[in-house]
């Protein structure tokens, strides 16, 4: 049957303009796998996520998401299975409350019927005051925004977490807490990070530079 693979990358290479970002990446991820993609900054971790999310197409190779080749027709449905945290926690501007309101109102999430109260346990776990809902995103610290992005990903109950340097603005204690939180969840998890915290928690580490599992 072979349906157990969530994501398969076959000899994928990516070119921006004339510059090759990476080449020959092959990766197979099963449902429920929890892995780290490691590598120094600039090695293409974020670009790899861009490929998985369908923001760019590979110059060579193929990407299969649940055995389907990613294309402009199916990418919209695929994105709705992914809970993504972007590197910079780019929540934009405006009130925190409105950010969550906007995300919950998206057609993909409306059926979940998430209410603002549902956020409270997550706010508690990630040590954010619920008063932060009233604040403006532009006035928050990187660490606060990052935790809001993690909470956004967690509450959407998607099948697949894609976290790009999700704890770069957090201190060690919160890093560990975050890793523990996601380890306990049954969903598939890919974390791009050069932070050793994640590598201590997750059994499988894929090195972008060596193009193989460590």
Partner 1 sequence: MAVVDISWFSLGIAFMLLIIPVVLSRIYKLKLLRPLFYSVSRMCVQLVLVGFFLKFLFSANNLFLNLLWLGAMILVAVWSAVRSFSLKMSKVLVPVFLSFSLSTFGIVLFINIWVVRLDFVFDARYLIILGGMLLGNSLRGNIIGIASFYNSIKKDDKRFKYVLALGASLNEAALPYLQESMVLALKPTLAAMATMGIVALPGMMTGVILGGASPLVAIKYQIMIMLAIVVSTMLSVFLTIIITRKICFSGLGILRQDVFVGR
> Does 16 sit near partner 1 (CB under 8 A)?
no
Task: Select 193 or 197, whichever has its Cβ closest to partner 1.
Answer: 193
**Residues in the chain, overall count:** 214
Task: Select 152 or 197, whichever has its Cβ closest to partner 1.
Answer: 152
* 64 bridge partner residues: 8, 69
Q: How far apart are CA 114 and CA 30, in angstroms?
A: 28
> Does 141 sit near partner 1 (CB under 8 A)?
no
How would you classify the pairing of strands 160-164 and 188-192?
parallel
> Does 92 sit near partner 1 (CB under 8 A)?
yes
The site for partner 1, by CB under 8 A, has a size of: 28
Strand order in the sheet with 188-192: 82-85, 160-164, 188-192, 34-38, 204-207, 212-213
CB of 196 to partner 1, least distance (A): 26
Q: CA nearest 152: which of 55, 66, 82?
A: 82
Q: CA nearest 32: which of 145, 158, 160, 140?
A: 160
> Does 96 sit near partner 1 (CB under 8 A)?
no
Sole binder of partner 1 in the list 102, 136, 139, 172 (CB under 8 A): 102
CB of 117 to partner 1, least distance (A): 21
Q: State the Cα torsion 190-193-199-203 to the nearest 10°.
A: 20
CB of 97 to partner 1, least distance (A): 15
> Does 119 sit near partner 1 (CB under 8 A)?
no
Sole binder of partner 1 in the list 21, 29, 96, 162 (CB under 8 A): 162
Q: Point out which residues bind partner 1 (CB under 8 A).
A: 50, 53-55, 57, 72-73, 75-76, 79-80, 82-84, 86, 88, 90-92, 102-103, 106-109, 152, 156, 162
């Amino acid at each position: 049957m072979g349906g157990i693979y969530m994501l398969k990358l076959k000899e994928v290479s990516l070119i921006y303009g004339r510059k090759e970002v990476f080449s020959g990446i092959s990766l197979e991820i099963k449902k429920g796998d929890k892995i780290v993609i490691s590598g120094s900054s600039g090695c293409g971790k974020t670009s790899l996520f861009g490929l998985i999310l369908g923001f760019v197409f590979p110059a060579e190779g193929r990407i299969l998401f649940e055995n389907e080749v990613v294309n402009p027709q199916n990418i919209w449905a695929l994105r709705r299975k992914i809970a993504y945290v972007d590197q910079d926690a780019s929540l934009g501007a405006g009130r925190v409350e409105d950010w969550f309101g906007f995300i919950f109102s998206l057609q993909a999430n409306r059926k979940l019927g998430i209410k603002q109260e549902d956020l409270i346990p997550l706010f508690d776990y990630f040590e954010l005051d619920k008063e932060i809902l009233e604040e403006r995103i532009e006035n928050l610290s990187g660490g606060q925004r990052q935790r809001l992005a993690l909470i956004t990903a967690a509450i959407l109950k998607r099948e697949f977490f894609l976290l790009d340097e999700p704890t770069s603005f957090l201190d060690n204690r919160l890093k560990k807490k975050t890793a523990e939180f996601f380890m306990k969840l049954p969903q598939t998890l890919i974390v791009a990070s050069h932070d050793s915290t994640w590598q201590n928690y997750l059994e499988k580490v894929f090195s972008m530079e060596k193009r193989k599992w460590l």
